[in-house]
């Protein structure tokens, strides 16, 4: 059975009004990333980091899924069990669009996690309060459920599972700077990159002096919303209508 692996990044939700760290006016410029998104920052100032994620959770409340979220949801419904839906995003817009099987590689913004027992639970869009305790073990050691720099991302194992089962790879709205999408694309005979601009392939070992799109068989140089319809047609053609 043919399957498709879709990996989405911040660009998927950017057109819904969710700012990204790489935007000109994005969160990178308001906060030092290692202060609010790293294990070291969390251990140094838990109150600051909690305020940061409280603000992000509040900002998410009035955002709505866009056409790209809805297209992925429609594909999952139409081709049940044949779409791997992996996202680097911590928002819930794919779920609100109707997706019921989303693999959040970097955690989820609406949830809190207990540091004592590992239990995860949904608090909606409200702030994490000083009085919050784990509903399972009642521990007060409660934190956001977003993976920070310096800690493991256990859901990354799903990337390898998806690569092993899929024949078409679709990367939408991701620059490849966090997850190396080129190395993934090399595993596929068929691949689609969706990004409004060309990005150089740069790794920890330096620049490869080639554009990322050169490693994909198809390149839709446009935003996620504008790519929703052609992406759908290409996936339908691959899976068979």
- Marked catalytic residue, from 24, 69, 104, 106: 106
Instruction: Note if 106 is an active site residue.
Output: yes
Angle, vertex CA 183, rays to CA 180 and CA 185, nearest 5: 105
Instruction: Kindly give, in sequence order, each residue whose CB lies less than 8 Å from that of residue 164, ignoring residues fewer than 6 positions away.
Output: none
Task: Tell me the C-alpha distance between 31 and 15, whole Å.
Answer: 22
Return the C-alpha torsion angle 186, 188, 194, 196, nearest 10.
20
Neighbours of 59 (CB within 10 A): 16
State the virtual CA torsion across 40, 43, 49, 54 in degrees, nearest 10: 130
Phi/psi at 237 (nearest 5 deg)?
-65, -40
DSSP 19: -
Catalytically active residues, by annotation: 106
């Amino acid at each position: 059975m043919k399957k498709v692996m879709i990996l989405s990044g911040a660009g998927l939700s950017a057109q819904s009004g969710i700012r990204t760290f790489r935007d000109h006016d994005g969160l990178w410029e308001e906060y030092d990333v290692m202060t609010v998104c790293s294990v070291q920052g969390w251990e140094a100032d838990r109150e600051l980091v909690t305020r940061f994620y409280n603000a992000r959770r509040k900002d998410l409340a009035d955002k709505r899924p866009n056409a790209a979220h809805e297209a992925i949801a429609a594909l999952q419904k139409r081709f049940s069990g044949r779409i791997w839906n992996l996202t680097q995003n911590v928002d819930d817009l794919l779920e609100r669009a109707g997706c019921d099987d989303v693999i959040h590689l970097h955690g989820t913004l609406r949830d809190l996690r207990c540091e004592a027992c590992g239990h995860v639970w949904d608090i909606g869009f409200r702030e994490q309060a000083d009085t919050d305790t784990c509903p399972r073990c009642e521990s007060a050691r409660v934190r956001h459920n977003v993976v920070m720099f310096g800690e493991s991302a256990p859901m990354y194992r799903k990337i390898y599972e998806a690569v092993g089962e899929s024949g078409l790879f679709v990367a939408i709205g991701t620059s490849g700077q966090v997850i190396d999408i080129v190395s993934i694309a090399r595993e596929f005979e068929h691949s689609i990159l969706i990004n409004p601009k060309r990005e150089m392939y740069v790794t920890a070992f330096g620049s490869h002096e080639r554009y990322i799109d050169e490693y994909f068989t198809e390149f839709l140089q446009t935003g996620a919303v504008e790519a929703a319809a052609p992406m759908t047609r290409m996936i339908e053609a691959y899976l068979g209508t």
